[in-house]
Structure 1
């Protein structure tokens, strides 16, 4: 606690030292607090010294060593500290006066004068140019003033050129002031001065000490434009105002010199306070450092003597025949290692009689653990022989490949129904690996495989595997076993593709949408400019072309907005939701939508089969509403051109899996193989005018809800009956 307080005080002392006013204001408090900490350190040191003296009188082992180490550390910290203090004291007391040199003060004064002279020269030059410019526009009427002012702004060059009337009303302007509602008009005093002197130059912003606003420093010159009867009916004199920004480097240097001179003068006045501040800080720091060094010496000495005391006690116990486990220190030094070695030696002597039995128990436990690990691995593991025959598998392989591989043990992997191509590819990889291993010394091979629905013998989506193969060690010469480990990365690949499409959507929305509005505005402006100049076929062609551009721009905006909404889909706020009530609410709206769509294609009925026993699910009602609408819309569109057009939405409660299942079926033509494999990727669609974002949004929302999405084609007795999309949700707790 004392050390922590001391560190905090040293930090506060350092902060106060950097601020002379803060230090002088809190010097007394800091001194008292540091003396309190020093007193506490003295009390702690006295207490530890008393304990050492007591141990030494009782003849405790290691007491003399501890006293010796403490004295060595204390002297090591005290002597260098005193030497540094003496040298630092002399340096501080004698060198502060050298900081305030007459030459430095003269150089700063010369720098200030040089900066003022440079700024005055710039102001005089701009005033002369402004007078010449006023003479040029003296004979120019007010109607031509804007163009003339623009030419003057480019010639000077200047940021702003303004022409004011005699009573301060703006006549014309050029430059940045054109975009201001109330340009900076000359003050009344400036108008009086310019009338008296014919011209005036003012430097603004140079006296602002803030570096952020010093970059706005400028020179403003005013000159009288002599009135003539040709330019003004009232004969009032006009005022030409020219504003020019000062060079940023010149302004920064001028402000820096001015600030340095001010700080130098302040330091010169407080040199006595500086000397007292540094010497006081140095003294307090030395005092706390020396006391801390003594305290640290005692603590470190105790840490060094502790391992020796532990070893001495252990040797006495071993000599008495006690071979029980001995305590050991976990330090990384040699003494800690010595205690650990001694503890290991006694442990080895005690465990010598039971070493064989314990080893056998460990082997049995390791074998059982390995089998448990293989049985519970999510990855698939298959052990093959040289010819590719299956020797053993784990449940993970059966789950991933959706085939009972235990039935095919002793048979080639390539002979398993639905896995012929996969087995041949694996065998080829092992053959290539064995050849390359002899040449390059490889220890494994790794390859990804994609098994589609036809290979798996199912109508569900295909899966992507990443497989790794290696040769297993064998006790029998000439016979080797091959280990094949694989995992289903379909979800990872799908997530990566969704993330990539989200990035593409964001970039498209940013890169494409920006030029669309200028294109539309330019086309409409062309039509406005040329509409009155063209007649007949040319006018009709112009109107048609412009309308085509506007329609296509709107279409591109809608497409970009859809991609943007996909990329910016908000995070789901999961709450308990009644899925049946949500579906019923959507069905009311959807029935009206179906009536509105009763065109030449006919109305597509939607039948709901809701399980009344399903519990609430964890979900975002707004996003789930979007999922249901997308699935029903896709299902209705899929039935176009089919003899029977029907969509069914169903909810089911799976008591065994403790999940709620939402199923949408249609009587359409199903998913083609190339679509089924990439159905959840954006822009993958079978519709002529679709964007392919429907199922992509469904998958993204399902991932946010922790739901599983399955796609399949319903086949009954070899006849395709339509497509089915199902989602499995977790129930609300």
Structure 2
């Protein structure tokens, strides 16, 4: 609220209080004058006296309310942080004591007035007249009520005739007319025939009759006991008073006669008024005393209220500047640095304190603005850094000096398969134990950067190779960055193995041909010179040499094929034909194994090298067949082996799925099976899956090694090829037609 408006309300409040106090004082003085006059408070001027006294009391009550509200605001201010209003309490106590002296003077004046009170005496004839009128008035009402009961009983008898009872059920109109005639003839304002639930069975009402009101339970109880239930008289301002009567009708099944009877209570009212006036006159002397006491208390209350108002005003003039300063300080405590103290033009200590307070708040506001701007700039930089960290491929984890995790970027969430919300604020050795040794080494070491490589399990169970770097700053904060180098390590390992394979092929293949030729020449030249008993041994030895040389040659060929993987010649090809050819070859090679084939009813066009693709699929089918045959030999069965081949579309990918019921994967880390020379068979070279993975990588596809979904023993291999974009629409259309 503006200060000028507040000051205007304050001036208006003071003016209203002063006006009310003056009017109440005039009224109290007038009441005192009337109280000591002969025709005043008890005589003909009594209405004027009580009117003035009531008006004065109302005004005094209003003034007291204003004082109470003002005092309550001051005292209740303590709840909102204002200081205790002790100064106001002291002022009010002093001014209240100052009001006691006038109150004593008013008590002495009241005692003097009561000593000169007026005594009135009345004769015996007035007393007799008043008492006689009262008796007459009291006797009239019972007489009228007896007459009404007689009429009610007579009417109930007429309604109980068999003809009337029969008309009730047979001719309701005639019964109602009969009821109306009975009511009119017996001066009843209205008559009703009702049941015990106050349901109207028949009614007759005269014009201007009171509305129907259900009888009370008490009236029903009187009527049920063969008596007459009578209600209390009901008086009306513009109509005669009346009573309601209820009587049981035994001739009916659950019926009562309920009537309204007008009664004249005028004589009774006049008698009661006369009696009251007489008793008031007898007690007039006591009334005079009460009048003087009322005037006294009104004057005391007025003086006390005025004194308290003056006390509050005087205390407020002293306390208000201090209260403003306290309120402004409280606003500053809550963070409102725009708080200012209204300083008057007075050149005193409080004004100087207010100006100093305003200077202090202005300085605090400017300093806080500078801090907020610096904090906003720092927050902006932090958000920028987080945005940069979010975009990088390396995982980043920030640690506080106490090894609490403070930052985790999105790449770290993806590599570690965790959510940042579950890591932030936790100890690194609790939630990321794989980094604990590196963190401990970085804390101990004086080196700026610590770099190590660790292996962690991935989502699919394969191991991820992480290159981890840890660095600390001057504040003891530590930053861990790590990259997924699994593909890089695998590529380096494959390159090394290809070099090894090339060297082995070169060094071993050259002497194989002379060895084989020499063995065959020895058999041709010296076979005839060998005795018959030694000929069999000679033949077996030569055949062993030739066979082993052939096996070594085959292995060398595989090494050469792995080392000199040709660059694929990419062209559009239909995978349906490639899959059919590979499955046919495997059926010929493995007649003991069932090879069910499931193909889509349309071409599946991908960009690939058909020869390399067929070679990769042949390696998969060969491995699956060997695994199935090994299981059949292990179980001692001749039938039951199966390798199911399915070609299907999944989104924008063509998938060749091979499912067998062989021995299954030898260990959980299936990613190692695709590394060169990794085999679990005695005569295996460990290059089959390595070649397949190389082919799939060259085609932009992927090799997936999985378990069977039904939980049965066996393995699942999936070769996924990206579809040509120009054929996606055709494939989708074909799928729609097939569906």
- When normalised by structure 2's length, the TM-score is 0.43
The structure number with the bigger radius of gyration is: 2
> TM-score if structure 1 supplies the norm length?
0.43
